[in-house]
Amino acid sequence: MLPYLWIGLGSFLGANARYFLQGWAADHWGAGFPYGTMLINVSGSFVIAFFMTLVTGRFTVSPELRLFVTVGFLGGYTTFSSFSYETFRLVEQGSWWLAGLNFIGNTGLGAIAVLVGVFLGRLIQGVP
């Protein structure tokens, strides 16, 4: 049960960090472009790559800390970081086809899922 507590605590902190940073970005750079989302996705990608490189190489950390940072905090902050890191790992392992499939699947299917979700939501609301 303890791992779930670490993940939950990290998620709470990550989601609140995301909320704060998106508001900060909108206040400073405007809301005409999703600067906050981009900042969050890029910074989350950096943090997961940096952290995982450190803890799978030179430094050893507890499984709880890994769960807290990667699944909890970064999961609440952004799942884009996981996607970016996993795609990189596939490339690094020489699985270019799988990396491409992961990239296209997440971005392409994600965009299609948004279109379908908007269409169905509008259909149910009776909005064209």
**Single-letter amino acid code for the residue at 100:** G
User: Count of residues for the chain?
Assistant: 128
For the chain, what percent of residues have pLDDT higher than 90? 59
The model's pTM is 0.77
Integer CA distances (angstroms), 25 to 38, 79, 84, in order: 10, 19, 22
Give the span between the Cα atoms of 120 and 10, in whole angstroms: 33
Convert the pLDDT of each residue in 34-89 to its tens digit: 899 899 999 998 999 899 988 887 788 999 999 999 999 999 999 888 889 899 99
10-39 pLDDT tens trace:
999 999 999 999 999 999 999 888 899 899
In order of 19, 32, 59, 75, the CA distances from 8 in angstroms are 16, 32, 24, 10
Contacts for 122 with CB less than 8 Å, ≥ 6 apart = 128
